[in-house]
Structure 1
């Protein structure tokens, strides 16, 4: 009986030892964490952003001279060429002043030609001694010069009134399309900024503007182009080339204006269209990119868990660009550092750590 009891005790002791060994092995297995070697990668961000479509040139037409509209040669939707007559004003007082100035010029010109003829004859006769007194020659010359001055003055008046008359014919400043009309034939056209006549827009080439957040302004734009779509052209992607940047950050929106040029030869775009653009932006230098699960967000900071000599070490980081399940990080790190795939606050600094590199 005694021998039987001793045998049972030995068996129980052996079984308990095996169970403890299995538990230790399980704990060790649980302490082995998946990890990876840190390396730098190119960071590319596909940024979706609203885009604004504008005409390349736009002008609101005003009158330089007051007058009544006698001819209106265009309407909204009409395509016009540079220099084409858009409308004609009638200003009777300017016409009358021009006719008067022309009459004065003709009179002054006749007087000058007469005094010039007299002076030339006196000048010729004065070459014979005693025929013409010197004072008579000087008087004739002075009259001729005075008549010449008056003729030139009246000629300038003609040119001035002629210039004013040219203002009554209003022409297109560039190739474009009439998008707004504010007047009718017979209306009075004033010269104040409120007295609008027409609006003309250049639409053969369009400006496409986007406002890029400050955090992306130092990225390189791949192929220097914007890919954009509009609800008016379902399923069609359009491309515009980068032409200029404002070079300044808007204080309210913290964005920089980037302007693209789109050749609208097929007349697909219209000013004011709502579009959505996509910029493919690349960081100028490579950065560290890790799985988003590797970054632990605590109350006061963000960090990754680094394995250093099989010990836990927390490295504080700042996040950059997030793409899908990966995130760009900045901190006291170097290539080849071993980081855990899934960080945790439960792994305290200094804790023993075994890792399995993936």
Structure 2
């Protein structure tokens, strides 16, 4: 009897305990979440009116305006090499000398051959004149006259041949000395003193970097808005806060059949010497200007549903708006429709918002917490 009473009491206790725990869980689930957790705090900015430039923007690579490989036209060892990589040279400045003793002696021999041919020609001319005088006095035959005429013509031909050979010899001698064909900077010098070189050997590579060019390619839409001579602003990552002036100097007359893009070149002034060939660069070509345009901060825009959207803050709620956008300039983006001057937009935290969500601007949230 006592055992039955014990087990009955124990069952009632356990039943009461589990019932109490179940009630706690139910009450916890039914408790409303704190409202403050549903309110998003954002920073905001106003829609403004501003003058904006309409630009075509693209990227490309900085190239030298002119690059030249210097080759020797004669073979031999390098016996003089007065330039180093990085040296700036003028057009016509000495770059290298190839050994040329044999060529020099050949040139002297050809000069002597010219002098000999001149002497032979002078002798043939005197013989011709003398024979002609004798023929006029009846002391020489026609055959003698014909013979001296042939001798004179032969002497003239021999002189012409000697002068041509001398010209080739002198040119070979001159080819042993290499001069800079353009003004520029030595960027490569793959040979040293004593290196054996020949016509295929590059002795030095020069680049003219006083004026550079930006090579790029644009699609058909951008191409239609560009004109030769249009002014451009070029920016490189190494000097992100500085712009370099330029202008469009080349527009390809056709699109590439594979990429469907047109090549273009922008001439960039490099008087400062800061820009280097093969730098990656961005260019903006101004093609128009918008006066008093309605504009939004670029920070207010983000991608959603395949297009740009903003969240307008009105009455403590976030309203999703898909504005029709125009050109961007100076951190602002022109808006053609969908927003008005003075509208307040979220510029931080908007990626997590939903249309109609309750929001508070950061300044208001700080005021309430005080």
Q: TM-score range by the shorter chain?
A: 0.5 to 0.7
Q: Secondary structure at the match of 1:210?
A: strand
2:75 equivalent to 1:69: no
Structure 1 residue aligned with 2:143, among 128, 135, 143?
A: 135
Residues 1:149 and 2:136 aligned together: no
CA contact (8 A) 2:71 2:202 kept: yes
Indicate if the aligned counterparts of 2:245 and 2:269 stay in contact, CA closer than 8 A: no
Shift in Å at residue 112 of structure 1? Answer: 1.7
Equivalent position of 2:58 in the other structure: 49
| Cα deviations by residue, 1:192-222 (Å, 9 ceiling, x for unpaired) | 2xx2111101111111222222332112469
* TM-fit CA distance, 1:250: 2.4
> Which of 106, 110, 116 is the aligned partner of 2:115?
106
CA shift at 1:173, angstroms? 1.2
Report the Cα offset of residue 57 of structure 1: 0.7
User: Normalising to structure 1: TM-score of the pair?
Assistant: 0.62
- Please state how far the C-alpha of 1:176 moved relative to its aligned partner: 1.0
Q: Aligned-pair distance for 1:321?
A: 6.7
CA RMSD of aligned residues (A): 3.1
Do the aligned partners of residues 230 and 136 (structure 1) sit closer, same or farther apart at CA in structure 2, a change above 3 Å counting? same
Q: Secondary structure at the match of 1:52?
A: strand
Q: Separation in 1 of the partners of 2:228 and 2:95?
A: 44
What's the counterpart of residue 125 of structure 1?
A: 134
**What is the match of residue 241 of structure 1?**
247
Once the two structures are TM-superposed, the CA of residue 163 in structure 1 deviates from its matched residue by: 1.5
Report if the CA contact (8 A) 1:84-1:172 is conserved: yes
- Asked if the contact 2:234/2:243 (under 8 Å) is kept, the reply is yes
- Quote the Cα distance in structure 2 between the aligned partners of 1:163 and 1:224: 46
Please give the secondary structure, in 2, of the residue aligned with 1:102.
helix
Distance 1:251 1:155 in 2: 54
Partner of 1:197: 203
Structure 1 spans left out of the alignment, 5+ residues: 1-42, 284-296, 299-318, 329-358
Separation in structure 2 between the aligned mates of residue 144 and residue 280 of structure 1, nearest angstrom: 75
* TM-score, with structure 2 as normaliser: 0.61
**Deviations for 1:31-57, whole angstroms, at most 9, x for unmatched residues?**
xxxxxxxxxxxx975444223211111
User: Which aligned pairs between 1:1-358 and structure 2 lie closer than 5 A?
Assistant: 46-128=55-137, 130-192=138-200, 195-220=201-226, 224-281=230-287, 324=333, 326=335
The 8 Å contact of residues 179 and 200 in structure 1, kept in 2 or not, is answered as yes
Structure with bigger helix share is 2
d(CA) in 1 for partners of 2:234, 2:269: 14
Please, which runs of 5 or more residues in structure 2 have no aligned partner? 1-51, 290-303, 306-323, 338-370
Instruction: Find the residue that maps to 2:203 and give its secondary structure.
Output: strand
8 Å CA contact 1:222, 1:282 repeated in 2? no
Please give the per-residue CA displacement for 1:232-274, whole angstroms capped at 9, x wherever unaligned. 3242122211111122222343322221112222323221222
Structure 1 residues 232 and 152 mapped into 2: Cα distance closer, same or farther (>3 Å)? same
Deviation at 1:224, TM superposition (A): 1.3
Q: How far apart in 1 are the matches of 2:53 and 2:222?
A: 11
SS at match of 1:232: helix
Displacement after TM superposition at 1:99 (Å): 2.9
Cα displacement (A) at 1:188: 1.2
Aligned length: 252
**CA shift for structure 1 position 141:** 2.2
Secondary structure at the aligned position of 1:247 is classed as coil
Residues 275 and 120 of structure 1: is their aligned pair in 2 closer, same or farther, counting only changes over 3 Å? same
Indicate how the Cα distance of structure 1 residues 320 and 212 shifts in structure 2: closer, same or farther if over 3 A, else same.
Answer: farther
